[in-house]
Structure 1
Amino acid sequence: MSIAEVFHLPQGFKLKDSDANRKLIGAAAAGQPDAKAVDKLQTLRIGEKISDLQEIFVAAHAPKLLIILQGMDTSGKDGTVKAVFGQVNPLGARTVAFKAPSNAEKDHDYLWRVHQEVPAKGEMVIFNRSHYEEVLIARVHEWITAAECEQRYAHIRDFERMLSETGTIILKFFLHISKDEQKSRLQERLADPAKHWKFDPQDLAEREHWDAYQDAYERALKATDTPYAPWYVIPSDSKTQRNLVIASIVLERLESLQLSFPPGNPEFSKLKVE
């Protein structure tokens, strides 16, 4: 079984039954000494391989890769970008962090601003939050009705199918943390002045809706998991396990493409640099 299959959204998925602290791969899963350090080093090595394949990805100028990171506040979206994709060449990769829409964006359909940011040929784009906010926070705060939410699920499936059919590989990661772990991470930010810049009082307000968010996530994941845009549920109470799993799935997918550099130009062999 591939690593992607291990973490793919299971049939009959229930978020309340999913362990945010389970460790299924790497040194931590094997109970090795110094597991964190070992798994961190392994993620670094995988990141180097991803970087090498990204160079071929850019040169081939054919596939497009869209990686979507979704999760509750403090689940580690920023940390994942740094740990897993920190070594890729920024000339062929972008990270897009979707914030609250501007007035101009609100004047268009909710996917308008998203479509502008999808990857071009040979490009890797990472969404730090995404169009899924429109069926998460929008539903939790009842800015849309249940019927409108179901309609949006259909919109999203069609949008991602179109992207897939026009050459975009889509990997969607739900960074699953427990309520206790979120409490610990928020408290850590409050206790350290050097981390106050990471803290937003709104995070505490959203935490009060924890159960509603869990329900919204479960519904959204089940409604939008498709063969062309699969969801992976990543246990994220452990930062090292989270990073190792996501890096492993990305590498596995890139290797499956059997990428190669484009043929050389025979005319170049006749040129001489004086």
Structure 2
Amino acid sequence: QMNPQGCRTYPFKVPSSEERAHDFLWRIHKATPAAGKVSVFNRSHYEDVLVVRVEDLVPKSVWKERYEIINDFEKLLAHRGTRILKFYLHISPREQLERFKKRLDDPTKHWKLNAGDYAARNKWGDYREAYQEAMEKCHSKRAPWHVIPADKKWYRDASVAAIVRDTLRDMDPQLPTIDADLGEIRQLYERELAELNE
């Protein structure tokens, strides 16, 4: 169990003009969690060695250097106490096609449709190669990749949840200490309660 106030989700989409005016990690760094907080990234800085590579958005000389920059960034986060879990949710081409069909057939799922995602199916092999290299070059003890079979959503969810649970158990988070004088607050409370009951 976890208080949702301490958890934020960030869906990184195509960078805005402001984000493009900065280095590729600028928007990511702004979303990293403060001490005692959790950030969940839906997509991440890895798009800048995956999509930009496969879609030929930047030269190879640019995205090739980013592996080392990403490793340094994750090393910095880990050094400051951030625990990093990276999940690659592996879905088969057949299952992805089935999910597209469900989205087409069900009006309540139309909002999930994205022509770009469907067009990317033609580059399935290129994306697999890009993911493979990213995982090989950016896997470490401090920032491990976890490859999760995702055709069955129940299995995907249970696998991710188990890894997160085990990581939290290992971290053994504790409630923060407080600066307030509990005795003084209790006296104020009891005085007000007594006045209300008169």
* Equivalent residue in structure 1 for 2:158, among 241, 244, 253: 244
One-letter amino acid of the counterpart of residue 121, structure 2: R
Q: Which runs of 5+ in 1 are unaligned?
A: 1-50, 55-88
Report SS of the residue matched to 1:218: helix
Corresponding position: 1:268 with 2:182: yes
Corresponding position: 1:210 with 2:130: no
Query: How much does 1:264 deviate?
Result: 6.3
* Equivalent residue in structure 1 for 2:143, among 202, 220, 229: 229
One-letter amino acid of the counterpart of residue 179, structure 1: P
Report SS of the residue matched to 2:31: coil
* Larger fraction in helix: 2
Corresponding position: 1:174 with 2:88: yes
Q: Give the TM-score normalised by structure 1.
A: 0.65
* Equivalent residue in structure 1 for 2:26, among 105, 112, 122: 112
Give deviations 1:60-104, integer Å, cap 9, x for gaps: xxxxxxxxxxxxxxxxxxxxxxxxxxxxx3311100001111111
Partner of 1:96: 10
Change (3 A) 1:266 1:215: closer
Corresponding position: 1:162 with 2:63: no
Partner of 1:194: 108
Give deviations 1:215-267, integer Å, cap 9, x for gaps: 11001111100111100000101100000000000000101122333456694
Q: Provide the rounded CA distance (Å) in 1 between the counterparts of 2:177 and 2:81.
A: 21
* Equivalent residue in structure 1 for 2:60, among 146, 154, 159: 146
Q: Give the TM-score normalised by structure 2.
A: 0.89
One-letter amino acid of the counterpart of residue 120, structure 2: E
Partner of 2:39: 125
Give deviations 1:120-149, integer Å, cap 9, x for gaps: 111111000001000001000122333322
Change (3 A) 1:190 1:261: same
Once the two structures are aligned, what percentage of the paired residues are identical?
Answer: 43
Q: Provide the rounded CA distance (Å) in 2 between the counterparts of 1:188 and 1:159.
A: 39
Q: Provide the rounded CA distance (Å) in 2 between the counterparts of 1:192 and 1:263.
A: 50
Q: Provide the rounded CA distance (Å) in 2 between the counterparts of 1:202 and 1:264.
A: 49
Query: How much does 1:194 deviate?
Result: 1.6
Q: Provide the rounded CA distance (Å) in 1 between the counterparts of 2:114 and 2:169.
A: 39
Q: Which runs of 5+ in 2 are unaligned?
A: 192-198
Q: Provide the rounded CA distance (Å) in 2 between the counterparts of 1:185 and 1:152.
A: 32
Alignment RMSD, CA only? 1.6
> Runs of at least 4 residues of structure 1 off by over 3 A?
262-267
One-letter amino acid of the counterpart of residue 149, structure 2: P
Report SS of the residue matched to 1:125: strand
